[in-house]
Structure 1
Amino acid sequence: MVHGTPGYRGTRVGITQGSGPRHQSDHGAGEQLPRIRVPFWCAKGHETQLVFLKLPDEQIPRTWDCPKCGLPASRDPGHPASTRPEDEIFKSHLDYVKERRSSQDAEVVLAGALERLRARGVLPDQLLGDA
């Protein structure tokens, strides 16, 4: 079955309920969804104001990462959120790999990968300076 409307449409904060896509001229039709602005403060005093749908208080997050410094921010300016323990700080893929493998293991894996590339002719020895 073929529909005359383009793709799927979703809703987000700021979109009016029952309205069409933004590019249509009738986007003023419909009922405005209720929103609230919630401030968060980090330990360094940065204030961040976020907009949420009007939800019960227990459904709005108590903490939020500060976009300026990355520290946790709380909704109470007098009591900043406690800092994260070291094990909760963001880790890259390489950090996780380093936790699982030693430098010697990495050398063995790298040597094996290079050998397979050379065997397939993908990686000529001249590029590595092994000649």
Structure 2
Amino acid sequence: MVHPASGFRGTRAGVIAGSGSTLQGNDSPSRPLPRIRVSYWCSKGHETQPVFLKMPEDQIPRTWDCRRCGGPATRDGQAAAPEDLFDDGSKSHLEYVKERRSGQDAEAVLAGALEKLRARGVLPDQLLRDT
């Protein structure tokens, strides 16, 4: 439950400005909040028309997911640039290591690790010296 004193307030479709609010103190007649319907087209020609509250043009999303095929849809009807579905913006451990170490550093770390394994007798000498 959201505390009434917090700044979190939301709207939903069909909300009327000033309805049911005792905090505003004015008894103006209820009127719907201004809304706009925006058209988006995917590369297959499907049209999606979500409804937004009236807002500045730069705050309206440029792309939207197509309701029929799930592909990216744009407002101008041009094909959206395909995004890598597996790229979540995070880096792997190997990518972080490659940023911190050069190829020569990596070779030195590998040689040290192999020497430790040879000293402990974990790996045979012949197997590692051939590589």
- TM-score, normalising length from structure 1? 0.49
- State the TM-score, normalized to the length of structure 2: 0.49
